[in-house]
Amino acid sequence: MNLFTISDLHLSFGTDKPMNIFRGWDNHTERIKANWCRMIKDDDIVVLPGDLSWGLKIEETLEDFKFLDSLPGKKIILKGNHDLWWGTVTKLKEFFEKNDIKTIDILFNNAFSCGKYAIAGTRGWFLEEGNDKKVIDREAGRLEASISEAEKTGLEILVFLHYPPVYGDSVCTEITDVLKKHNIKRVFHGHIHGAGLNKAVKEYEGIEYKLVSCDCIDFTPFYII
């Protein structure tokens, strides 16, 4: 069993939101599928840190989730800023069950195990995006809850976020404080695209950060273990 991650797939099989208007995104779903099927086996785990589908309502995501479900491996998803279809965990699981989607699970105030690692995470937030302290505190609380669940496994914890806690000169201390409190050493995140790659931070205060937005990793799932 291996662990991979890839973020910001921006699927739109059920909506009219072509990604080829952006440089480098031509045939991105075909490229993702080809790379995915080349690398990933049915017993592997792939963490998808947000921005999965352009659907506005859960019904509009069905073809996107069918696409993901058809790919090898177990998928663990968490919310991104564009995942406006995201409802409660109960409703998402009911939607998956109703539509016979069997390989997708949800990271939300919980944790998963993969080999010698535990998987924790949440969406996160940027101070610059609305300056909503309530949202930031809520996300820090969700991260705390997820990491606390992961700690029960006794395994080394890997954290997955949609937003990077550190980007350029900006730091979301509410999130980084939680990471430091729990001695997290590796964080994987998405959200950043294109030229923004140049401001992505690789290390901050002893924590390693890895940007895994699909266009920044050549539409290829990133191998962790």
The CATH number linked to 178 is: 3.60.21.10
pLDDT at 131 over 80: no
| Summary mean pLDDT of the chain | 94
pTM of the predicted protein model: 0.95
* Helix intervals (H) in 71-201: 89-98, 133-151, 173-181
pLDDT at 135 over 70: yes
- The tally of domains found in the chain comes to 1
pLDDT at 39 over 60: yes
CA–CA separation, 139 vs 175, rounded Å? 8
pLDDT at 130 over 70: no
Instruction: Supply the pLDDT for residue 128.
Output: 59
Instruction: Supply the pLDDT for residue 17.
Output: 84
Instruction: Supply the pLDDT for residue 126.
Output: 76
Kind and range of the H or E run holding 211: strand 207-211
Residue 210's nearest CA partner among 98, 49, 78, 52 is 49
Burial 148-160 (b: 16+ CB within 10 A, else e): ebbeebebebbbb
Q: How confident is the model at residue 22 (pLDDT cuts 50, 70, 90)?
A: confident
Instruction: Supply the pLDDT for residue 132.
Output: 78
Kind and range of the H or E run holding 63: helix 62-70
Domain of residue 60 covers: 3-223
Taking residues 122-135, what's their average pLDDT?
A: 77
CA–CA separation, 179 vs 172, rounded Å? 11
Taking residues 91-103, what's their average pLDDT?
A: 97
**3-state class of 176 per DSSP?**
helix
CA–CA separation, 132 vs 114, rounded Å? 34
Q: How confident is the model at residue 148 (pLDDT cuts 50, 70, 90)?
A: very high
Kind and range of the H or E run holding 69: helix 62-70
Judged by average pLDDT, the poorest of 51-65, 119-133, 166-180, 202-216 is: 119-133
Kind and range of the H or E run holding 27: none
What percent of the chain stands above pLDDT 70?
Answer: 98
Residue pair 208/186 in contact by the 8 Å Cβ criterion: yes
Taking residues 111-124, what's their average pLDDT?
A: 96
CA–CA separation, 38 vs 60, rounded Å? 28
